[in-house]
Structure 1
Amino acid sequence: MQVLFYSTKPYDRKYFEAANAQFGFQFRFLDFALNEENAALVKQEKVICVFVNDVVNAAVIQVLKQKGVALIALRCAGFNNVDLEAAASAGIRVVRVPAYSPHAVAEHAVALLLTLNRHVHRAYNRVRDYNFTLTGLEGFDLFKKTVGVVGTGNIGAVFARIMLGFGCKVLAYDIAHNVLLEQQGVRYVSLEKVWAESDVISLHCPLNKATQHMINAHSISQMKRGVTLINTSRGGLVDSHAVAEGLKSRHIGALGIDVYEQEEALFFQDLSGHIIDDEVIMRLMTYPNVLITSHQGFFTKEALTQIADITLMNIRSFENDELLLNQVNALHR
């Protein structure tokens, strides 16, 4: 089976080639993102493997269909960048990696929270300039603070348990309640109650029509003044303009994001010698109480290994005409 990879980085090659020892597929790697201009680069491959910032819209899918592609294998959990309906109409199956070391992303969310709260990023820069003063670095104990968790799937559940370990009161919102979490002390409440009562809010839900810009001017107005907001899920959950205004008004006390709504033009690239045209992210980066990482929450050895293994198992199941357990679209009959 021949597989074409888009958006390939050195670590993709490393982990997929290692995992391929037990599968024996033929790989071709491209280091740029899939879009309408380069979809035709598919040769004999029936499978393409894509990542979060690849554009897999209806126009791309039509080209892929003409090229004979039958499977789109996402090496990530999210699939909002794929037109599932168009893929189904074209007879192309779409599979994903639904879970890969949820600890990786959950722990990164905690890292953002702790860094912001204790101003570790600012202290690091100060000390390197031989400035050992503490003024302006005051944080707060997480112990007994109220933490709101929006979305309690695999990642959200791990994050909630970590917060319980810190001695926090954990409120959660999800359309499905996790009974085990409830037994461990998590209390499910309405979204409005999460906004109103939480000192810290962390997002761990998928991006869809219902969750698009769930963090907006209205929801921010319902939150506690000085709230810390963490997003390691999907950039589109947050209205960046509204958050920038919330920071300016001091209603939001701190913001930690590993994802950004317009990240496809920025993340996973070295733009150190370029002028960034995105005024919103440039504005956010001027705030001392904002911490931005470039979608690295998944970036651990354990997660990368699992991503490669599960992606290739998905492809093997397709090759053997077996049930695709991780398929996310239903083909039209």
Structure 2
Amino acid sequence: MKGEVCIFANTPIWEPKKIRYRYPGEAWQEIAGESYLIDLLPILGGDYPTTWLVKLGDLIVDFSLRVFSFYDCSGNSSVVHTKYVNTWPAQFVGTVLSIRWMFGEAGGPGGGSVFDCGNGLFGVPPTIWISIIYKDTNNNIREAGISDYAAIIKPPGNIRSWKMISRSFKIHFTDITRPDDPPKYQCQFTVFDVFNQVISNIIRDDCPEVIVVPERCYYKAENERLVAKIFQSFLDPPLRIEYQGNCATVWKDSWPLSYFPLMIYKECTDNPNCPPPRIRLDNKKCKEECRQCPPGTAIKVLLGGNIACVDAFGCIIKEIKFKPGCNSYDCICG
């Protein structure tokens, strides 16, 4: 390309990993998060004091692990699902307030997180122990722990280390004075960031449908923009585009030697996991004039490949072809 050469760049858009969820009868919602847990929280007896009993087998804990063949979560790995039930009853008098994990997301005995690497899974892991928080008849807040379990779906015996992937529990409270009442539950939906910190905690009667949307990088044609112009004589070698990692560089080599090339333009994407900006050279568009909206109108909407020129009343007066570097807009309409 000779004469005036335009350099256009299109930088990819990065979207972080998201947790997309929807409650029954509602629209989808999104939150930028790394992982989530769904726990069923029993509420039977939460509204009145009585004598409550958790019978043998009425507490079921399901969880998934990524297990490793060596210590410190190294070596070959695989995902296993296990299930435990309580082997000892729990009884107390009062009003059930909540259920919590004795080893929780914010740390537990000895500190740490439930998502940290654990070494030596022999017997029942403490991450499945739970506590029942209740108010006794004197309005004192008390706690009843359940830590006796038996595996009904056993993990393999050759585990050297493991990481928690997900867990949930289901518990039946029996009112001794009304043993035929059916159990009722609430659902706790918790979202964590990359540091395993809680960023959202929702408790409702229903559990949401959840989809994990991985992070992504993508290009949009309308985001291409003019970033530089340069004049190329007939003796100049062609401009050279170099892509390296997440960066793109436009070089002008010296003639006849290219020992000291001149950097014309360089741009890197904000996220190193994204591809570099796309570079396009054009010596024709530089000569084209940008079309603008008529006086008294404003550029507001991109309709397909055209810009809508809108007056003060919101009416479209004229449409012009969208050109990167020439026009901008407030929103996109299909």
Larger radius of gyration: 2
Q: Above 0.5 in TM-score?
A: no
